[in-house]
Amino acid sequence: QVQLLESGGGLVQAGGSLRLSCVASGSIASISLMGWDRQAPGKQRELVASITGGGSTKYADSVKGRFTISRDNAKNTVYLQMNNLKPEDTAVYYCGARTDRIFWGQGAQITVSS
């Protein structure tokens, strides 16, 4: 079992920045991949960014150049730095961790006002 605790959500104006954090606990040695999904009202849930244990990253086209995912293995934490935020980034952001299954955090609301 893996437990994930997210923090850092909030309200920001368009063009602003926020950083999400996700601390993993439990069977963390078995985690092969961590990432962030988001769910906007009326839209399908989508992958925002992911990072492997070796540091390889992937991003959704909509956030490339604006969002950066990183991880601190010593702190069992993954971050999502979000810059130049847009109203269309408004969503609930979920931290995920993959072992032989996928675990999810409780979600963090990000609201970007125009």
The tens digit of pLDDT for each residue in 49-87 reads 999 988 999 999 999 999 999 999 899 999 999 999 999
The 3-state DSSP class for residue 79 equals strand
The predicted-structure confidence for 4-58, as pLDDT tens digits, reads as follows 999 999 999 999 999 999 999 998 889 999 999 999 999 999 999 999 988 999 9
The pairing of strands 10-13 and 57-59 is unpaired
Q: List the beta bridge partners of residue 35.
A: 50, 96
What pLDDT is stored for residue 77 in this prediction?
95
Place of tokens 């130049």: 84
